[in-house]
Amino acid sequence: MSSQLWRVLLSLASMTTLLALISCDEPPDIPAQPYRLISATTTPATALDVDAEGHYVAVAASAYGGVVYDVSNLAHPVQIYRDTVDISASCRRVAIETVHNYIYTDADATQTDSYFLMNFIDGSRPWQGDFNFSSNVDEVQMVATADSVIVFRTDYSPGDGLQSSLICRTSDTTWDGTACPWWDQQWSPLRPRVRGFGLSPDQQYAAVAVDDQGIHLNRVNPFESLGDTITTGVAYDCAWSGNYVYVADRYRISVVDASDPHHPFVVTSIAITGADRMARVVIDGNYAFFLDELDGIYVVDISNPLQPRHIQTLSLQEPTSLDAFDGKLFVTDAVQGLVIYSR
């Protein structure tokens, strides 16, 4: 065999080895369309909000009340509980937790007993008090431990803002607000409207979307006002991933570095082609989901926080809310009801 042929063969072998090494170092490609439709379940009345945890999904079904579905089989959700509202009221927001299996339903002001907890497994009411909130709720989240339950809400009424209420366990069957180290808390902006919020992964901080004033950071326990930053659009909602806060900035996506909560700053901002009004955002792993009230859901790859990439659009007629975890996406739509996607 000639020396020239040997050189060619050695060169090809070296290139093959190099390509193999490079491919081993690269992360697996993200599918072009990672999420697929699993099911759409018509709700008894207009679906306005959704919250999911474990095998359960709660839906605020307006005049029908708060509904809990068992979604062990994503293709066939089964209604297991209904929290009714007064005949003239409408359930607009819900939250659930699976430490105690409690549901929090938020109806409008026409219902006297609007803000209390119920056990969605046995239908019992663990605490006879209610939460001292006004009615103009934009977003609600519930956090539970073995001995406490806390409800966070944003309220767009002038002077309200981010609010929280806490109850603590005093015995196996008794809960009390006055037994807690702190009770009602509130942070209010001076002028703009508070729209949405997100809790940090360690639940020590809350990021609050404050309209054209951007993002404000608060310590949670106890409430303490920290830093803020103006974003490039109109901040409708926000969600954390690590030390970054992703902002539904109406027509844009803004990413805020919140590693120093006293001095957050915008690290990047991108426009979404065709976006009309991005009003909600949730995060699951390396994906962020932005709800556009007129178009549907934008799926964004955030594996590189400094370079978010819009990779998929899930078209919906009138999406109202969303939640996601463990590769599953739950969306409420005013036309279709509860819509479930999975990857």
* Model confidence pLDDT, tens digit, residues 140-173: 999 999 999 999 988 777 667 888 888 888 887 7
- Is residue 331 a contact partner of residue 322, using CB atoms and an 8 Å limit? yes
Cα pseudo-dihedral 146, 284, 236, 135, rounded to 10: -30
Question: Looking at 16-30, 188-202, 255-269, which range is the least confident one?
Answer: 16-30
In the chain, the percentage of residues whose pLDDT exceeds 90 is 60
Q: What is the 3-state secondary structure (H, E, C) of 205-248?
A: EEEEECECCCEEEEECCCCEEEEEECCCCCECEEEEECCEEEEE
Instruction: Provide the pLDDT for residue 224.
Output: 92
pLDDT of residue 7: 46
In sequence order, what E strands does 101-251 have?
A: 102-107, 117-119, 137-144, 148-155, 161-169, 175-176, 185-187, 196-199, 205-209, 215-219, 224-229, 237-241, 244-249
The mean pLDDT of 232-242, rounded to a whole number, is: 95
pLDDT digits (tens, 9 = 90+) for 186-221: 888 877 788 899 999 999 999 999 988 999 999 998
Question: Is the pLDDT reported for residue 14 higher than 50?
Answer: no
Which of 102-106, 221-225, 277-281: highest mean pLDDT? 277-281
Q: With 70 as the cut, is the pLDDT of residue 25 above it?
A: no
pLDDT of residue 22: 38
DSSP type of residue 305: T
pLDDT of residue 19: 40
Q: Are 332 and 339 spatial neighbours (Cβ–Cβ below 8 Å)?
A: yes
Mean pLDDT rounded to a whole number for the chain: 86
State what percent of residues in the chain have pLDDT above 70.
85
Q: Residues 73, 78, 84, CA angle at the centre, nearest 5°?
A: 145
Residue 236: which of 119, 139, 158 has the closest Cα? 139
Geometric angle at alpha carbon 331, from 198 and 115, rounded to 5°: 60
CATH number, span 35-342 = 2.130.10.10
pLDDT at residue 34 is higher than 90: yes
**The residue type at 289:** F
Q: What are 42-75's pLDDT values in tens digits? A: 999 999 999 999 999 999 999 999 999 999 999 9
Peptide bond into 222 cis (omega under 30): yes
Domain range summary for the chain, segments of one domain joined by +: 35-342
DSSP reduced 3-state for 70 = strand
Q: CA torsion, points 65, 71, 77, 81, in degrees to nearest 10?
A: -30
- Provide the pLDDT confidence category of residue 247 given band limits of 50, 70 and 90: very high
**Exposure b/e, 117-152, CB count within 10 A at least 16 = b:** bbebeeeeebbeeebebeebbbbbbbbbeeebbbbb
How high is the pLDDT of residue 94? 94
